[in-house]
A and B are shown apart, each in its own frame.
Chain A
């Protein structure tokens, strides 16, 4: 089948990938664009290691065909930091040991980022629901909850004007 160009907006840049219809978004990101943050943990939608945001929605990029991303906005873990400044979630993940091996982290961060975009004070239950498709074999998810709550508090503080380091989600 003939390959065709797909145009998508990745981390704020208009980029083209070359893709046949069987190509997944995950492989286009990793192989064509060198965005290796999103991981392949199962290739079939079971683990969430490949989560990226598609028009703001967290999706398993191994289950999205590249052509489905035509003309849409993609945010990957590489796009979270701005001008070298880590997003509060990224910092909190490091500070609270919300990962050990880190293989689940890019996907986990994107699921949490999507959550914070619509909810700046998530409960434990809401966080666990947001990451319910993100498999982590190293932690017990507890440190992730702590990280998200810490980041949420920081973002709230900065958007209410009394903090300066935080950057609110788009």
Chain B
């Protein structure tokens, strides 16, 4: 078969035409007759008891159509990402600055604001719990009365850690600290809800998991799921921060109460104050090795600040523990993951689920170890790297691991690693230049023991045009584009013939959440299965008509191909004949990612089995007078398996690198006693166009052998993971001083220089 002219090509994203003309509609752009503005009233305190809540004056204001408190919620008053512990509207206590106490819907924004002002709340301010190290002590003030503040305490052990530590030639032992980081998706959270003519509560939702949103909205409205419909319009970014539901829940409640459509969009400040953040974690880590640099053991203890509610804390910390050994062959490993409740912002999902924090630790440890042993950092990594067939400390055997070392070598070659000392290390008296690398792995998919499936419906019409129905939310990562490419490829039609419908629970089957780099693999497999069944019909018709055996036939460029040569029969003609003779051109498929039924005792739970490997190398310039760090070059070599769309893959890489530079150097939510002090894009500093170096990217296309459609295995999370440790190691190389805390602000660099 000749090379595909759809798969592997830089096809523009589905919807690109709408995006560049301004026609694409996101939640804030959806307008409806009678549309009301929804708003929420939040707690001004990090922790307080609600003594009195009086909304009667607000209800009297002309133009106010609904004012809701917890008493007005017909069904369950909570979110349900994992545990049902976060109320939609506070019950008798507020536990962080993002807890809402009331919701209003009014004719316009000014009236909604007036209603919020008219709500009377009397709080009894309580002493907050802000330090996880204090909160985890026995006898500490309990955030939820009668419940331990420690909501997770898990130890995973493999091998003989203590014996390995005792026998080691060299030990590196450090304590690391990471910060709260903000997703800053450009479109804030929002939802638009209405009750349609059939009584179905229809919600436009800026989200990652439309079917889970449907479930959550139904249970809070006390309605059957069959009476709730969730539609994803265009979505302005998510990065994990829209995995759990948000204000689409309140929009639905308000629309039902008001009997009119309601649009509820968070303002930027409100968004930063309320949604989940990347967990700050304090990590103590010991890495042991032989004189030659062979890793013997890793022992880590991580304490995460979870904020007041569970949200994705277990998922995040599970991934932290799963990846704390890095892409290395370590036989003895112990990791203790602890998460503690506080009245700080909630920790939750953010691109990489704990893997970025883990990588900052293990890759910093590797460079500290390399210095101690006087071994080149590249050599140390190559010496310990996993390969295809390596059994990892989690118990998982790496199915395809060539990219671990290949990405290291390629990145080193691109930057000229061997010759770096020929570059000027001190270009000016106050400047120091340095190079640092980081190499990581990150799994794609939900992981063992967690259902990982996706459905899809595909239909070809008599003119050869195709409709693709997938419930996978596209937040900009481009999933529906690559699913359409896969379908077009199998059916031999151009991309323009495939209409991919954005997720809509009344039309598109459940594909689960767009998270964990899973959709390309899981929904991709579902698309291939559905497309292959339609393809089968077309080829049966073609074989019958031409009397040529099936194995010589193919579909491509809108035509039948015989021995790779175009034939007179078009796909359109085949489709017409197929439908005439009753062959099915409609296919539904459900793909379930196969994990072992019985995970061996002693293996890490919830492990992923397909890995994205990558290496990044940073060249930095440190101003030793100001502490300012400039990233001069960033090399990024990634493996995504087979690329379905290089535009999308390179896009994920450059975007992840940019986020990684921010995470490394400037991004930090400043939280004092539970209050965020910098809730704006002005004061939460994210690199802008002039702050980003030219990124030199390369993609290794090593097809994944199992479970990956056409060899593709996802790319979304890995790009952000190695950036911070690569920059950290480059700073170490430049100034000879290690840093152990993110972000590596100018101030912290100066402190390190003084140390």
A residues at B contact (CB < 8 Å): 30, 34-44, 46-47, 49, 76-78, 80-81, 86, 90-91, 93-97, 99-106, 109, 124, 128-129, 131-144
Contact A97 B476 (CB under 8 A): no
Residues of B within 8 A of A102 (CB): 15-16, 19-20, 24, 234, 236, 476
| In the complex with contacts A80-B21, A97-B648, A102-B236, A137-B186 CB distance below 8 A | yes
Listed by A's residue number, 30 A-B pairs whose Cβ atoms lie within 8 Å are A34-B31, A36-B28, A37-B21, A38-B22, A39-B26, A39-B28, A39-B236, A41-B681, A42-B681, A44-B682, A46-B680, A46-B682, A47-B186, A78-B22, A80-B20, A94-B12, A97-B13, A99-B13, A99-B476, A100-B13, A103-B476, A106-B22, A128-B690, A136-B186, A136-B689, A137-B239, A140-B657, A140-B695, A141-B658, A144-B689
* Interface status of B184 (Cβ within 8 A of chain A): yes
Q: DSSP class of A's interface residues: helix, strand, loop or mixed?
A: loop
* Interface status of B659 (Cβ within 8 A of chain A): yes
List the count of A-B residue pairs having beta carbons below 8 Å apart. 172
* Interface status of B119 (Cβ within 8 A of chain A): no
| In the complex with contacts A47-B681, A134-B689, A140-B657, A100-B186 CB distance below 8 A | no
Once bound together, how far apart are the Cα atoms of A49 and B268, in whole Å?
13
Once bound together, how far apart are the Cα atoms of A154 and B655, in whole Å?
26
Least CB distance, B187 to chain A, in whole angstroms: 5
Contacts A41-B268, A143-B654 known; 7 new A-B pairs at CB < 8 A: A41-B186, A42-B681, A94-B20, A100-B476, A101-B476, A104-B186, A139-B658
In this complex, the interface size class of chain B, counting residues with CB under 8 Å from chain A, is 35 or more
Once bound together, how far apart are the Cα atoms of A92 and B423, in whole Å?
37
* Interface status of B538 (Cβ within 8 A of chain A): no
B residues at A contact (CB < 8 Å): 10, 12-13, 15-17, 19-26, 28-29, 31, 183-188, 234-237, 239, 267-268, 475-478, 647-648, 650-652, 654-655, 657-659, 680-682, 686, 688-690, 692, 694-695
Once bound together, how far apart are the Cα atoms of A77 and B24, in whole Å?
11
Least CB distance, B106 to chain A, in whole angstroms: 16
| In the complex with contacts A39-B26, A40-B28, A81-B21, A138-B268 CB distance below 8 A | no
Least CB distance, A79 to chain B, in whole angstroms: 9
Once bound together, how far apart are the Cα atoms of A109 and B236, in whole Å?
16
Task: Select the residue from A39, A41, A81, A100 with max chain B CB neighbours within 10 A.
Answer: A100
Contact A103 B26 (CB under 8 A): yes
Q: DSSP class of B's interface residues: helix, strand, loop or mixed?
A: loop
Once bound together, how far apart are the Cα atoms of A38 and B29, in whole Å?
10
Residues of B within 8 A of A105 (CB): 19-20
Least CB distance, B364 to chain A, in whole angstroms: 23
Instruction: For A96, give the chain B residue with the smallest CB separation.
Output: B647
Residues of B within 8 A of A42 (CB): 268, 680-681
Contact B186 A36 (CB under 8 A): no
Least CB distance, A165 to chain B, in whole angstroms: 15
Contact B185 A128 (CB under 8 A): no
Task: Select the residue from B19, B659, B692 with max chain A CB neighbours within 10 A.
Answer: B19
Residues of A within 8 A of B655 (CB): 100, 137-140
Which 5 residue pairs across A and B have the least CB separation, nearest first? A37-B22, A101-B476, A103-B236, A140-B654, A102-B19
| In the complex with contacts A81-B21, A95-B12, A97-B651, A39-B658 CB distance below 8 A | no
| In the complex with contacts A90-B21, A140-B692, A141-B658, A43-B267 CB distance below 8 A | yes
Instruction: For A48, give the chain B residue with the smallest CB separation.
Output: B688
| In the complex with contacts A124-B694, A141-B658, A101-B236 CB distance below 8 A | yes
Least CB distance, B135 to chain A, in whole angstroms: 32
Contact B237 A100 (CB under 8 A): yes
Least CB distance, A146 to chain B, in whole angstroms: 10
Contact A99 B19 (CB under 8 A): yes
Once bound together, how far apart are the Cα atoms of A61 and B184, in whole Å?
20
